[in-house]
Amino acid sequence: MTPPVLLGGLLGERALGLRHLAGPRAAEVHGVHASEMADPSPYLLGGELLLTAGAALTQAGAAAYVGRLARAGAAALGFGVTPVHEVVPPGLAEACEQHGLPLVEVPPGTPFTAVARTVGRLMAEARTRELRRVAEAQQALAAAAARPDPVPAVLSRLAASLSGWAALLTPEGVAGTTGAPGTARGALAGGTAPGTDALEAVDTLARRVAPGSAATATDAVGATSLAAYAVGGGRVLALATGVRTPGDHTIASIAAVLLTLLTAERPAGAEAAALTRLLLDGDPAAALTAGPWYAVHARGAGDPQALAAALGTVLLDPHEDSARLLTDRDPAPQPGWRLGVSAPAAPSALVTADAQAERALGRAEAARTPLARHTEPGLAGLVGEAEARAHAEALLRPLSPALRETLRGWLAHHGNWDRTAAALGVHRNTVRQRVTRAAELLDRSLDDPDVRMELWFALRVAEHRPAEPGQPPRSAGTTASLSRDGRPAAGRRRASPGSGRIR
């Protein structure tokens, strides 16, 4: 998830010359949309800075116009003065103030494209900062896990990284922490303890995930964000923080994996004993448990030891910018690394698994995806062709052929709107609308990598079926795009009617 841009930061870009006229300055901008329609709200996805020169705006309709934008979730309204209006129309600022929608004046010398490029740059910078923060937190958590008192050290480091409170709840209480009880099963682990209501809500979340029926659960009490992560054995990592940022979930997930490894019930020195038997006997089957085991090839700039800890293993072969690992836990993507993962294997098949992981890493690097698995014999081969097809058809039944085609193209291009639009021969607004509609019909979040993976396999299974007749025609339209170079643009281009989203 890309972090948003604060409107106040955009207003601070002096080269744009934007002027704040009404509404709050703390709005979060997730993108830019330009439109001269009388009602652009159907084309808004939420969080956009809507740019307009007011070609279709009348003084009498200003209040209704702003109301529709606010209900559609627009982050702010940017009004370009000239060539249509010499000044911001009377009543627009008042309407924006009433609806709590920020209003920004865009001066004549600032093209809308310059505003869009600046928002894109600021979002990219925010994403870079967030990735750096996650990488630094991962290293700090790995270092904490290596201390003599690893559990409280990890909890304390996590609380500091998230500027909040963290505790490890067990059926008996909190492991590795000290302090007065915070709930019937918890105690202060680090940071500032939340209020009583928040502690009771945390305890409720913990009871939901402790049995293992759910990996995570979230809630909020007032301005406090709450989360619980299952770490195995009935233990739960509980968190209470302020406003959550996009990287918080990744950092908490890393800590949860470390705590799972640190608190797992296993004989002391089991890994060392296994290595000793392997060296002396030369027989992996005798040295390792039955598994299944996963061979992992990794390439990245992170700490290999931290990667091994995150994957729950000490069986690591590190190199300068790569590593080979062996783990008995199904690997998940790790920040800062590209992973190739073998199929589950018995100890006697580790040589084959190592070759599978190497090929999978090559695919991950070619596709620029954080993790690739050995794919043979594919989903149909793993669960049976009939079962795979039945599942795919049941999952995809709500989607029309056009929505399936668009969703498959979008997933194949890793969520890139422009490349998907070019491949399908439609406007990127059409791609956005179809993908959003598909998510609504499926009632699933396409931000979830598990959902994306399941849909991709389902679409692959269903793709060779004969095309269904009666596909709806592509939605298309024309609009006069205002270039803000001092006059309305003369050209017209394909787009959703009268509207164009700028990224």
Q: Is the pLDDT of residue 497 over 50?
A: no
* Residue 191 confidence class, pLDDT cut points 50, 70, 90: low
Q: How far is CA 362 from CA 229, 285, 456, in A?
A: 32, 28, 20
| Predicted local distance difference test score (pLDDT) of residue 274 | 59
Write down the residue that tokens 């072969």 correspond to.
317
| Predicted local distance difference test score (pLDDT) of residue 68 | 95
Q: Is the pLDDT of residue 296 over 70?
A: yes
| Predicted local distance difference test score (pLDDT) of residue 384 | 54
DSSP notation for 47-104: SEEEEE--TT--STTHHHHHHHHHHTT--EEEEE-SSS-SSPPTTHHHHHHHHT--EE
Q: Is the pLDDT of residue 282 over 80?
A: no
Task: Kindly state the DSSP code that residue 174 receives in the 8-state scheme.
Answer: B
DSSP notation for 285-296: HHHS-S--BEEE
Q: How far is CA 403 from CA 115, 265, 427, 478, in A?
A: 32, 48, 14, 22
Would you give the distance in Å from CA 32 to the centre of its chain?
Answer: 20
Q: Is the pLDDT of residue 340 over 90?
A: yes
Q: Is the pLDDT of residue 318 over 70?
A: yes
Distance separating alpha carbons of residues 253 and 42, to the nearest angstrom: 36
* Residue 287 confidence class, pLDDT cut points 50, 70, 90: low
Q: Read off the pLDDT of residues 97-109 as tens digits, 9 standing for 90 and up.
A: 999 999 999 999 9
| Predicted local distance difference test score (pLDDT) of residue 192 | 64
Lowest mean pLDDT among 66-80, 281-295, 299-313, 371-385: 371-385
Q: How far is CA 275 from CA 272, 309, 390, in A?
A: 5, 17, 45
Quick one: average pLDDT of 380-404?
A: 77
Q: Is the pLDDT of residue 176 over 90?
A: no
Peptide bond preceding 83: is omega within 30 degrees of 0, i.e. cis? yes
Average pLDDT along the chain: 80
Helix (H, G, I), strand (E, B) or coil at 308: helix
| Predicted local distance difference test score (pLDDT) of residue 197 | 87
| Predicted local distance difference test score (pLDDT) of residue 216 | 82
Q: Give the dihedral sign, CA 115/49/477/473.
A: positive
